Amino acid sequence: MLDILFRDEHLIAVNKPHGLLVHRSPIAIDVQEFALQLLRDQIDHYVSPVHRLDRKTGGVLLFALNKEAEVAMHIQFQEKKVIKKYLAIVRGHTPDEEDIDYALKKENGTIQEAFTHYHTLKRAELQVALGSHSTSRYSLVEAKPETGRMHQLRKHFAHVFHPIIGDRKHGCNKQNKLFKETWEMTTMLLHASSLSFNHPITNEAILIEAPLQEEFRRVMLLMGWELV
Active site residues: 54
3-state SS assignment for residue 172: coil
Of 157, 135, 134, the residue nearest 145 (C-alpha):
157
Please provide residue 222's backbone torsions phi and psi, each rounded to the nearest 5 degrees: -60, -35
Please provide residue 36's backbone torsions phi and psi, each rounded to the nearest 5 degrees: -60, -50
Strand partners, 207: 196
Measured distance CA(177)–CA(183) in Å, rounded: 10
3-state SS assignment for residue 214: helix
Asked if 39 contacts 12 with a C-beta cutoff of 8 angstroms, the reply is yes
- Start-to-end Cα distance in the chain: 24
Print the SS3 string covering 80-94: CCCEEEEEEEEECCC
